[in-house]
Amino acid sequence: MANKAEKWKDNAGGKFYVDQQCIDCDLCRETAPAFFKRHEEGGYSFVHTQPATEEDVQLCMEALEGCPVEAIGNDGEE
């Protein structure tokens, strides 16, 4: 389970975030490329843009549920 105390500072403010457990597997970026980006130097993903529509939220939830190390959280600040 993702820990908001360990989320990357690069995450856009809001509900979804990626924490330091990320292993840079690319699943979230493939599932929801409009919302997840790669930090090139650090080798991890982060939330670049928060979802705005229910469809967008569903894409982010799909990425969250598919994350092999549970590094994506959905309990960040609203």
Query: What is the per-residue pLDDT for 39?
Result: 97
Query: What is the per-residue pLDDT for 76?
Result: 76
- Cα-atom radius of gyration of the chain, to the nearest Å? 11
Cα dihedral 48, 13, 21, 58 in deg (nearest 10): -70
**Structure token pair of residue 38:** 């790669």
Every domain of the chain and the residues it spans: 4-73
Global confidence as pTM: 0.94
Query: What is the per-residue pLDDT for 78?
Result: 55
Q: Please choose, from the candidates 21, 24, 4, 28, the residue with its C-alpha nearest in 3D space to the C-alpha of residue 69.
A: 21
pLDDT (mean) for 16-20: 98
Domain at 4-73: CATH code:
3.30.70.20
CA distances (Å), origin 78, targets 6, 16, 66, 69:
17, 9, 23, 24
Q: Is residue 16 very low, low, confident or very high in pLDDT (cuts 50, 70, 90)?
A: very high
